[in-house]
Structure 1
Amino acid sequence: MFFGLTIKAAGTALELVFPWLLSHMIREVAPSGSISAIILWGLLMLLFAVLAAIGNIVGNRNASYVAARASARIRHDLFARIIFLDSQDFYSVGISSLQSRLTSDVWQINRMLAGLQRMGIRAPVLLVGGLISTMIMDPVIGLVLLILAPIVWAFAGLINKYGRPLFRKVQNQVDILVRRTRDAARGIRTIKSSNREATVQEHFGIASDNLSAAEKKASFTLSLSWPFLGLLLNFGLVAIIYIGALRIKAGLTDTATIIAFISYFAMITQGIMAMTRIFLIYTRGMTSANRIEEVLKIEQRINFVDDEQLRAEYAAAAPDILNYDLQRERDIDLGKSSSGLDFSGLIRGKGEEDSRIDNIPEAGGEPDCATAGKSARIEFRNVSFAYPQTGAILKNISFKIEPGQTLGILGPTGSGKTTIIRLLLRLYEPDSGEILINDRILTEWPRRQLYKLFGVVLQNDFLYASTIADNISFGRRLYHEDIFTAGEYAQADDFIREKPGGYEHPTQPRASNLSGGQRQRILLARALAQNPCVLVLDDATSALDYETDARFRRMLFDNFSRTTRVIIAQRVSSVLQADTILMIREGEVIALGSPRELDTRSPEWQQICREQLDQEGAYSHEL
């Protein structure tokens, strides 16, 4: 960076020699009538022009390079912070706002850094160098420029003061527009099926109009600077010509000096205009920088014992500013990378070498349950929790699951079933009570070891735009056989192999080219692919037909007998073979025990069994 700035400054300084050379040729060389002298001085001016151009080209290229690397590092650090955000803070900031901060705000910082390096060096050199040169040539006329300079600086300060709040409003409106666009794209099928295109278009139009209004206000306010600056500079030019004419008439200066003054004035004008543009870019860039800083400064509420180590490893994996692989960026630009998250290099055949995982942080943690013969004991002790906005959700929840047992959780919508899973995964901290795994309090578990235990399928879980195999492996070191076996366990192998390419069949964003049942089975395969110690299924088979659901549940009990299972379901038949049933309503336990125990002492269990099992008939009883 220092080298580029030095070259840029040197190239700009060479431009300051031109007016002096021009003045010398008019005053000394031309009157001599020597053709050789004129050619010599002309070649000298040409040489200075070439050197100045080379300096500016090298400086501009270096500015683009440094700005690209700096913005890449900012984007990397911001994304790392977003990854470590607690769920509460994540949704408090908002997904659309985080998206715009990662994209448009980082781009504004890129523009600011590039502009500061290009014009931030050139403008001061032209301005200061031009003022010094004019004061040396004629101090009287130079006073005009000295008087003009502080006025311009004061005006630039006003631009920065009043422009920043306006551009912050613009970025906030960008957040809203991104959210509207994102919601419309995700819900396009529902919008079309319910004939709500006009309403969605109206909402989008309002957001777009608000953004346009904010941009117009900011742009109009700042655009007033250009006419004002032009007026100031024209007054300065008139003053220079008028004072110069008087001094020529008085014999105190000559025409060559005035011509040089006008040339220097043009350069100083460039510097002033560039400084104004710098302040405009700086205003927008600092607005974006403040928005990014807000996220970076969010204090982490949930801390794991190994978080500092993970952050250090993630930082070490960041792109090196001095050793940036431009070819990789070109490959991405040319579309050689199939998706933003390419896990294909992590899928191995037996005996294959790992070619792409040396620079990826180790997954870490304990061995999987199948190979180590381990399982997990889970215990909730008087756990209570409330979301900040909604009040109490869970009240004094207590239960215990022994290793290899199954807990089935039933309850109406909004009763707190999913919240239990979120607390178990430590996405939130309980307000009171304790959660233990293998008699170890959850807060004592390192992040890596904790999440190594789990295979999870949550409600509305997601699939990437990649391939089926990539979505099952999910960045883990898996052999092809592991992926195929997981597909078989999840009852997905048959339909996957019918697809063109089989497990390498491409998936569109959110796997929109697959049916709901197919998506759920791929998610189940992902959860089962590494033999988890704890399998968490949150309404994970709701899109499966009864026959497929039954085969999957039989497979679970046959092949994952050592795995502790937590199943949230709407169907009684999905949890009928569970060792323990937990029924909750409005965050409180209303029934807890084995199905056989609840058959005799829980009216709520008896009622839901009558309602559902009578409809499903002998099918469920047979299971």
Structure 2
Amino acid sequence: MKKLIPYLKPYIASISLGLFIKFMGTITDLLLPWILAHMIDHIVPQSSIRLILLWGLMMVFCSIFAISANITANHMASRVARDTTKQIRHDLFKKISYLSCSQVDDFTMPSLISRLTSDTYHVHNMIGMMQRMGVRAPILILGGILVTLTLDFYLTLVLLAVLPFIIILVYFISKKSIPLYDKLQQSVDKMVRTLRENITGIRVIKALSKTDYEKNRFSKINTEVVEDEKKAAMTMAITSPMMNLFLNLGLTVVILVGAYRVNNGLTQPGKIIAFLTYFTIILHAMLSISRIFVIFSKGNASFQRINEVLQASEDLVLQEKDTIDSPYHISFDHVSFSYYNQQENLTDISFHLRQGETLGIIGTTGSGKSTIIKLLMRFYDVDKGIIRIHGRNINSIPQEELHTKFGVVFQNDVLFADTIAENIDFGRGLALEEIAASSCFAQAEEFITSLSDGYTHLLTAKGSNLSGGQKQRLLISRALAGNPEILILDDSSSALDYRTDAKLRKSLYENFQSTTTIIVAQRVSSIMHAHRILVLEDGKVLGYGNHEELLKSCKSYQEMNQWQMGDGRHD
């Protein structure tokens, strides 16, 4: 919890003022039973209406002040909780944005979503509750005990005898409940992942008639969440009845001892009434503490999960300057890589591209084509070998500088629920002329201008109101809009017809001659005109050269060409 303190420091003044107001309101609450006892034992026997009204008005004033103070303090506590959680959520989102791909893989996407949503909600509740009841309840308990000592010392001993049992109970229950709430949040992560998969793949599920199967799968994880929540809730549920038992037993003893002492003239009825009131106040304060521990247990477990992300070390460390003289724009020198350090996903990959050249990468599914792109953009660090851009080791290039060199369309890229223009611009502040030019190069202008509202046409989430080919052309428009130094097209023309694909390749050749291009494709026709073609299988290079060279030297490429092009030749 020490890690939470820096987030609360900017609000120390507000917290302090709120606690002072809460303190004054709580002390005023504690005065009311004492005033009542004083009226019963000393004012009423005097039979003075004036004094009774005077002390009655004092009770009314104290009640109004206590209510106003508590409302004001609660409002301030809510504001602090809101602003603190807002900052935590901002920092968490920022940290997640800069996590490396391997770190995202380790945390998992559903877990990160859960930490950013439900975990921050629990922290918000904890901060607010600790300011509201976390201050009020202890003051009511300690203040109540001190006041009862002035009323009747022997009855107070009965109360003090009960407190150690309650403290021990709260300690052991809270110690056991925090790990249970942490386990509950992990189960929630699984449920978020399952729900996310179902929503994303709903069309596939319906098409394959797997609705019942997915319902059963969700039911299983939902039951796991319920069971974990039940264990945590049942553990915490022991607190309230046990505290009620201890305090009610104490209250019974107080009544018996109090009756004996009044009967023997050792105390006064007003003090007994006041004492019972204070005992009830302390009872409710203790019950509030049990609720606080429930909220605290959830909040503490959630903040630990949040803090794991916030304290994650920098995975992709910027290394010392490493530059050599090189005639090549992009160089892969004996690069090997493994995602989970078990078996290599890429083995000894080498190729070199000059400025403006095009590299086509082709191979079977899972051969490592997209992995090469991820390594080039330094989403992951290589295990062996070196990747250079203009002779600079990419490990020595700052991320913000490195990524501005690229215009990229990923294999499963995303369009956002915004206008076409905003999806192409992507927050870069481009002029409409530049947006229109890039869409023209990407062969998207024709269908955009055919829309009634053109570039202001609003897309739905993931561009679901567009066809596959339209989406790919918009994504290519986005990649071209920044006039990139390196253009990466990762299986980005699979939904295009051959005529549009050919026009796109021609447009890129004519308008982006100085841009080094890497095309990952499944079709030979998409990469056959590239200066260099890399043929991969199981992360290893089967062939490297141009189209004609590979037709002579690479059997795998020959077979792909034969299957797709027919006779193995193309004029």
Deviations 1:575-622 (A, max 9, x none): 12211111122222221122233344334333332332228x99x63x
Say if 2:528 and 2:546, in contact at 8 Å, map to a contact too. no
Mean Cα displacement is larger for which, 463-472 or 534-543? 463-472
Q: Which residue of 2 aligns with 1:414?
A: 366
* Residue 419 of structure 2 corresponds to residue 405 of structure 1: no
Q: Shift in Å at residue 47 of structure 1? A: 1.0
In structure 1, give the amino acid aligned to 2:95.
R
Quick one: distance in 2 between partners of 1:241 and 1:199? 62
Question: Residue 422 of structure 2 is aligned with which of 450, 462, 470?
Answer: 470
- 1:77 counterpart = 2:86: no
What's the counterpart of residue 319 of structure 1? none
Of the candidates 313, 334, 338, which is equivalent to residue 382 of structure 1? Answer: 334
Shift of 1:36: 1.9
CA offset at residue 115 of structure 1? Answer: 0.8
| Larger CA deviation: 507-516 vs 497-506 | 497-506
2:524 is matched with 572
2 CA distance for matches of 1:527 and 1:137?
A: 79
TM-score (norm 2): 0.93
Give the superposition deviation at 1:376.
Answer: 7.8
Q: Which residue in 1 is equivalent to 2:183? A: 169
| 2:10 aligned partner | none
1:13 aligned residue: 27
Whether 1:253 and 2:264 are equivalent positions in the alignment is no
Distance across 1 between alignment mates of 2:471 and 2:342:
31
State TM-score, norm by structure 1. Answer: 0.86
Match of 1:582 among 534, 543, 548: 534
Cα shift readout 1:122-159 (whole Å, capped 9, x = no counterpart): 00110000000001121111111111222211111011
Which AA in structure 2 matches 1:236? G
Q: Deviations over 1:443-494 (max 9, x none)?
A: 1111111111000111111122222222211121211222122221211122
CA contact (8 A) 1:377 1:400 kept: yes
User: Which one-letter code corresponds to 1:546 in the other structure?
Assistant: Y
CA distance in 2, matches of 1:127, 1:452: 61
Given candidates 448, 459, 462, the residue that maps to 1:507 is: 459
> Is this contact kept in 2: 1:5–1:59, CA < 8 A?
yes
The alignment partner of 2:346 has SS state of strand
User: Residues of 2 paired with 1:81 and 1:235: CA distance?
Assistant: 52
Matched-pair contact (CA < 8 Å) for 1:490–1:522: yes
Matched, 1:241 2:255: yes
1:13 maps to a residue whose letter is I
Determine whether 1:220 maps to 2:172. no
Q: Deviations over 1:523-577 (max 9, x none)?
A: 1111111100000011110011111111111110011111000111111111122
C-alpha deviation, 1:298, in angstroms? 2.5
- Give the letter for the 1:443 counterpart: N
Secondary structure at 1:387's aligned position in 2?
A: coil
The letter for the 1-side match of 2:543 is A
Q: Does 1:596 align with 2:548?
A: yes
Q: AA paired with 1:458?
A: F
Cα shift at 1:390: 4.8
Corresponding residue for residue 59 of structure 1 = 73
Q: Distance in 2 between matches of 1:222 and 1:418?
A: 49
Looking at structure 2, the residues matched to 295 and 459 of structure 1 have their Cα atoms a distance apart, in angstroms, of: 27
Match of 2:151 among 124, 130, 137: 137
Cα distance between partner residues in 2 of 1:162 and 1:605: 62
Indicate if the aligned counterparts of 1:467 and 1:505 stay in contact, CA closer than 8 A. Answer: yes
SS of the aligned residue for 1:478 comes to coil
Q: Whole-Å Cα distance in 2 between the matches of residues 90 and 383 of structure 1?
A: 23
Question: Would the aligned equivalents of 1:123 and 1:275 in 2 still touch at CA under 8 Å?
Answer: yes
Long gaps (5+) in structure 2 = 1-14, 321-326
User: Where does 1:54-453 land on structure 2 (aligned, <5 Å)?
Assistant: 54-304=68-318, 377-388=329-340, 390-453=342-405
User: What's the CA shift for 1:221?
Assistant: 2.1
Q: Matched residues in 1 for 2:411 and 2:27: separation?
A: 63
Residues in 1 aligned to 2:555 and 2:205: alpha-carbon distance in whole angstroms: 41
Give 1:126's aligned amino acid.
L
Contact 1:402 1:564 in 2 (8 A): yes
Structure 1 residue 59, shift from structure 2 partner: 0.8
Q: Does 1:457 align with 2:409?
A: yes
Q: 1:121 to 1:19 in 2, by over 3 A?
A: same
- 1:4-34, CA deviations, whole angstroms, 9 ceiling, x for partnerless residues? 1111111111101101110111122222222
Larger displacement relative to structure 2 (461-470 or 51-60)? 461-470
- For 1:531, give the aligned amino acid: N
- How far the C-alpha of 1:417 sits from its partner, in A, is 1.0
Percent identity between the two aligned chains: 42
Cα distance in 2 for residues equivalent to 1:102 and 1:539: 32
Amino acid at match of 2:371: T
- Aligned-partner Cα distance in 1 for 2:25–2:75: 13
- Equivalent residue in structure 2 for 1:487, among 439, 446, 457: 439
Counterpart in the other structure of 1:546:
498
Give the secondary-structure state (helix, strand or coil) at the position aligned to 2:338. strand
Aligned residues of 2:328 and 2:352 also touching (Cα < 8 A): no
Is this contact kept in 1: 2:337–2:345, CA < 8 A? yes
The structural deviation recorded for 1:300 is 2.6
| Higher deviation after alignment, 30-39 or 9-18 | 30-39
Number of equivalences: 551
1:172, distance to aligned residue in structure 2 (A): 1.4
Deviates more, 1:136-145 or 1:191-200: 136-145
- Per-residue deviation at 1:256? 0.7
Q: Distance in 1 between matches of 2:505 and 2:512?
A: 10
User: Is residue 475 of structure 2 the alignment partner of residue 530 of structure 1?
Assistant: no
Task: Name the amino acid aligned to 1:95.
Answer: M
Change (3 A) 1:170 1:602: closer
* Larger CA deviation: 114-123 vs 261-270: 261-270
The aligned residue for residue 354 of structure 1 is none
Moved more, 235-244 or 384-393: 384-393
- What is aligned with 1:45? 59
Shift of 1:105: 0.8
Q: 1:500 to 1:65 in 2, by over 3 A?
A: farther
Q: In structure 1, the residue corresponding to 2:345 is in which secondary structure?
A: strand
2:328–2:391 CA contact under 8 A, matched in 1: no
Q: Is 1:126–1:271's contact at 8 Å kept on the other side of the alignment? A: yes
Q: Which amino acid aligns with 1:226?
A: S
Q: 2:324 corresponds to which residue? A: none
Distance 1:59 1:304 in 2: 47
1:390/1:541 CA distance change after superposition, 3 Å:
farther
Q: Name which of structure 1's ranges 585-594 and 55-64 shifts more when overlaid on structure 2.
A: 585-594
Q: Is the 8 A contact 2:244 2:283 kept in 1?
A: no
Q: Deviation at 1:178?
A: 0.9
Q: 1:44 to 1:411 in 2, by over 3 A?
A: same
Q: Between 140-149 and 556-565, report the one with greater CA deviation.
A: 140-149
Change (3 A) 1:501 1:36: farther
Question: Contact 2:359/2:533 (CA < 8 Å) preserved in 1?
Answer: yes
Name the CA shift for 1:172/1:602 in 2 (closer, same or farther; >3 Å).
closer
Letter aligned with residue 36 of structure 2: L
CA distance in 1, matches of 2:115, 2:473: 34
Report Cα offsets for 1:318-364 as digits up to 9, x if no partner: xxxxxxxxxxxxxxxxxxxxxxxxxxxxxxxxxxxxxxxxxxxxxxx
